[in-house]
Structure 1
Amino acid sequence: MPLTRRSLMDAAAARFGWRRAYGDTTTVDELLTEQSEAAYTEAADHAALATAKNTDALAVQPGVLDTRGRILADVLSLEGVLAGARSRSLPSEVVKRLEDVVDHGHEVTVLLAAAAVRAAAAHTSSGN
């Protein structure tokens, strides 16, 4: 299915709070590829902007805090997905992967929090 049609269908479903599920690995692989291509295209723009904008340690802090907030919200949402997977006795490999993602997500939020704190400390120690 073309990306444009799938995007419209996904947007319509999301409007009603629904999410689509894909029953075959080929479609999932295509979607993952499309997501990756879109993210890497956007990342190139972000890198150029960040290089110009992030002139000191404190300048990176707002982006780090914003990213941490989004990731934390997503990880907490995934904890709900994990709880549902466990309560419905979904296949152990699915549950294990979700556990890994949730654990890793929490680790990432801890690292981002440390980066935000370190940016403030670097700013303070530089005498500003």
Structure 2
Amino acid sequence: MSPTRRTLMEAAAARFGWRRAYGDTAAVDGLLTEQTETVYAEAANHAALATEKNTDALHVQPCVLDIRGRVLADVLYLEGLLTGARNRGLAPTLIEHLEDAVDHGHELAVLLADTVRTTAH
């Protein structure tokens, strides 16, 4: 399926609150690769804009605060997924990976909070 068609299908599904699940690892790997390539393609632009705009620590602060908020919200969502996986007795490997992701997410939220604090000094 072409990326354009998949994007349109996913946009339509998202409008109704649906998300697509992929049943085989080849499709998942392809999606992860595409996701990574897209983000890295945009990263150079972000670096150029950040260099231009972030002239001191206070200019960095609002962006880091925003990112921390999104990370924390996503980690709490992951915690809900973890609880559901445990309650349903899903695969131990899935539960283990979710636990690792939740722990890492909390650590990232703490690091970002520390980063925000340094912008105020």
Cα-to-partner distance string for 1:25-49 (whole Å, 9 max, x where unaligned): 0000000011001101111110000
Matches within 5 A, 1:96-115: 96-115=96-115
Matches within 5 A, 1:45-124: 45-121=45-121
Q: How many correspondences in the alignment? A: 121
- TM-score normalised to structure 2 length: 0.97
- Counterpart residue type for residue 43 of structure 2: A
Q: Aligned equivalents of 2:2 and 2:86: distance in 1?
A: 34
- Counterpart residue type for residue 13 of structure 1: A
Residue 125 of structure 1 corresponds to none
Cα-to-partner distance string for 1:83-116 (whole Å, 9 max, x where unaligned): 1111111100000000100110010000000000
Residue 124 of structure 1 corresponds to none
Deviation, structure 1 residue 56: 1.0
Matches within 5 A, 1:5-44: 5-44=5-44
Q: Aligned equivalents of 1:102 and 1:91: distance in 2?
A: 17
SS of equivalent to 2:17: coil
Q: Aligned equivalents of 1:109 and 1:100: distance in 2?
A: 14
- Counterpart residue type for residue 82 of structure 1: L
Identity of aligned residues (%): 68
Deviation, structure 1 residue 24: 0.2
Kindly name which structure, 1 or 2, has the bigger radius of gyration based on alpha carbons.
1
- Counterpart residue type for residue 101 of structure 1: A
Structure 1 stretches of 4+ moved >2 Å:
none
CA RMSD after TM alignment: 0.7
